[in-house]
Amino acid sequence: MAKAPAKAAPAHGEAAPAGKSKKKLIIIIAVAVLLLGGIGGGAAFFLSKKHSANKEKEQKAEPPKVAAFLPLEPFTVNLQSDAGDKYLQITMTLEVEGEEQAGLIKANMPQVRSRLLLLLSSKDANEIISVDGKEKLVQEIVEKVSQPFAAKGEPQKVNAVYFTSFVVQ
């Protein structure tokens, strides 16, 4: 009879370690879930912070440029013509990128006016009367005014030219 209780003890002993291993397994799984959740949350936090920092850098790097309008004094020039004397009286406004560009062009207005006088006086009356001729003239004016004022300097940022008066006689 002494042997019977010995058999029961190992069965009871086997049940006890199985219960402890289940508790250990549950604790290990819970710790692993918490650890992975913490790592995932931390990664999400740092990535979102890095992403928002990149957005802030992009916004700071590229502030929106507000166009500035720079009206020029009227020009009156003789045009090239085989049919007698032809004149062009023109008033225009330049659209430039910001007040800084407007100030730079104002500071170099003698060069701007000289370039435009040479360009306008080289035109034939029949060449600039049509809409296509005027559009081509706008492009040429943008190119002339955009040229750097100093050797190896930065070009001006002229967006458009608007004619406010255009008379050919």
Q: Among all chains, which residue has been given the structure tokens 């190992």?
A: 10
Which of 46, 63, 80 finishes a domain? Answer: 63
Mean pLDDT of 86-97: 94
Are 44 and 113 within one domain? no
Are 71 and 57 within one domain? no
* pLDDT tens-place string over residues 31-86: 888 888 788 777 777 777 766 656 666 666 666 678 999 999 999 999 988 878 89
Are 30 and 92 within one domain? no
Return d(Cα 23, Cα 116) in angstroms, integer. Answer: 90
Question: Tokens at residue 84, please?
Answer: 């007698």
Amino acid letter at 139? Q
- The reply to whether the predicted model has a pTM over 0.75 is no
Which of 63, 90, 105 finishes a domain? Answer: 63
**Other Cβ atoms closer than 10 A to 54:** 10
Are 71 and 136 within one domain? yes
Are 54 and 101 within one domain? no
What angle do helix axes 109-121 and 98-107 make, rounded to 10 degrees? 80
Helix H or strand E encompassing 71: strand 67-71
- Domain count across the chain: 2
- Residue 21: is its pLDDT beyond 90? no
| Domain range enclosing 35 | 1-63
Please return the burial class of 129, using the count of CB atoms within 10 Å of its CB with bins 0-12, 13-18 and 19+. Answer: middle
Are 23 and 74 within one domain? no
Which of 12, 43, 63 finishes a domain? Answer: 63
Are 33 and 8 within one domain? yes
Question: What was the pLDDT predicted at 13?
Answer: 46
Question: What was the pLDDT predicted at 44?
Answer: 78
Are 47 and 7 within one domain? yes
Mean pLDDT of 157-167: 94
* pLDDT tens-place string over residues 93-150: 999 999 999 999 999 999 999 999 999 999 999 899 999 999 999 999 999 999 999 8
- Residue 10: is its pLDDT beyond 60? no
Question: What was the pLDDT predicted at 117?
Answer: 95
Are 75 and 153 within one domain? yes
Confidence label for 8 from pLDDT (cuts 50, 70 and 90): very low
Return d(Cα 11, Cα 6) in angstroms, integer. Answer: 9
